[in-house]
Amino acid sequence: MRIVTRGDFDSLVSSVLLSLTHQIDDVHITNPYGMQTEVEISENDIIANLPYKEKCGLWFDHHYNESEAAQKIKFNGFFKIAPSCSRVIFEYYNDKNDTHLYEKLVNVADKIDSGQFTIEEIRNPQGWFLVERTLHAFDPKGTLGDFKEYFMNLMDWIKTNSLSEILLADDVQNRIEHVRSEHKLFVNAIRECTNLDENVIITDSRQMRFFPNGNRYLIYTMYPEQNVSVSIFNKRNSDLSIIFCGHSIFNKTCNTDINKLLRKYNGSGRMSAGTCIVKQGDADNILHAIIDELKKNG
């Protein structure tokens, strides 16, 4: 079977659990937009951590914005609002094929996917948090190798190696070095592209060709007085802009339902975070409307 999933840490752990219970031949890495526009699905596919699509063999998800669809459709698999998709899969298989051995890793996926970081874990990631950072390393020169191959190697290593051994693997070390080398560039890029408007942190990087890699939660340590962020960047090789909104994970006073707000612009998410994709020609008006709503709600 083939797993269709995202390229983040929760999806990695989800894929490991699924590979314990199914014969997995391939992994296809995409995103919600790609699910709508690019990916053909068959009964040979297991969709994990992405919206449901007809004809799939199994579907597992945990996102709040998919709860309405999950109640209306008949599907094989499991949907539950939970901290991570890994948690949903872990509970569904209920200790089958040694899945119980990965409970600590599922706990990490819960923490990462729900944004339950400490300031120190954001500023100085260690262990699995450092592995998670390597999944976000953007390498426009292609020096880090193929991402899908790296993702599938991690799936195998997690099942056969200790965390210490994984961290010492050459491919992991190369990506760790890349992530660390970009940290200062990332902080400088945030400062260059960010403005504050009352309670809202606004990061507009549309004029940057490449935005350095970094932990998106870091911005909440840099601007602790604000309670919500909105960022916008242009999707590469397209006429689209991507807008992300998120509640601060430290100043938890934002009242805006992000999912409800972004659904006005064909986006989605959960109460605390979400994304919409818009035409570049419409982006300014939509961005300003979103900011106004975030300020109005406080």
pLDDT above 80 (res 170): yes
Q: What angle do CA 136, 142, 144 make, to 5 degrees?
A: 60
pLDDT at res. 242 = 95
- 287: CATH: 3.10.310.30
- Same domain membership, residue 154 and residue 239: no
- Same domain membership, residue 164 and residue 196: no
Answering whether pTM is above 0.85, one says yes
> Does residue 14 form part of some domain?
yes
How many domains are contained in the chain?
2
> Does residue 12 form part of some domain?
yes
Nearest to 228 by CA among 296, 284, 276, 286: 296
Query: Strand, coil or helix: what is 246?
Result: strand
pLDDT above 90 (res 264): yes
Q: Which domain holds residue 214?
A: 187-297
pLDDT above 90 (res 130): yes
> Does residue 104 form part of some domain?
yes
- Same domain membership, residue 124 and residue 194: no
pLDDT above 90 (res 86): yes
The pLDDT confidence band at residue 209, using thresholds 50, 70 and 90, is confident
> Mean pLDDT, to the nearest integer, of 55-80?
93
> Does residue 112 form part of some domain?
yes
Our CA dihedral for 133, 221, 182, 29, rounded to 10 degrees, sits at: 30
- Same domain membership, residue 79 and residue 164: yes
pLDDT at res. 142 = 79
More confident residue, 110 or 38: 110
Nearest to 217 by CA among 137, 131, 115, 135: 115
- Same domain membership, residue 166 and residue 35: yes
- Same domain membership, residue 163 and residue 27: yes
Cα distances (angstroms) measured from residue 67 to each of 70, 82, 111? 5, 11, 21
- Same domain membership, residue 270 and residue 214: yes
> Does residue 178 form part of some domain?
no
pLDDT at res. 68 = 86
More confident residue, 34 or 83: 83
> Does residue 121 form part of some domain?
yes
> Does residue 164 form part of some domain?
yes
- Same domain membership, residue 158 and residue 100: yes
Instruction: Choose one of 117, 145, 170: the last residue of a domain.
Output: 170
> Does residue 176 form part of some domain?
no
- Same domain membership, residue 150 and residue 198: no
pLDDT above 80 (res 96): no
Q: H or E element: which one contains 245?
A: strand 240-247
The pLDDT confidence band at residue 139, using thresholds 50, 70 and 90, is confident
- Same domain membership, residue 165 and residue 201: no
- Same domain membership, residue 156 and residue 215: no
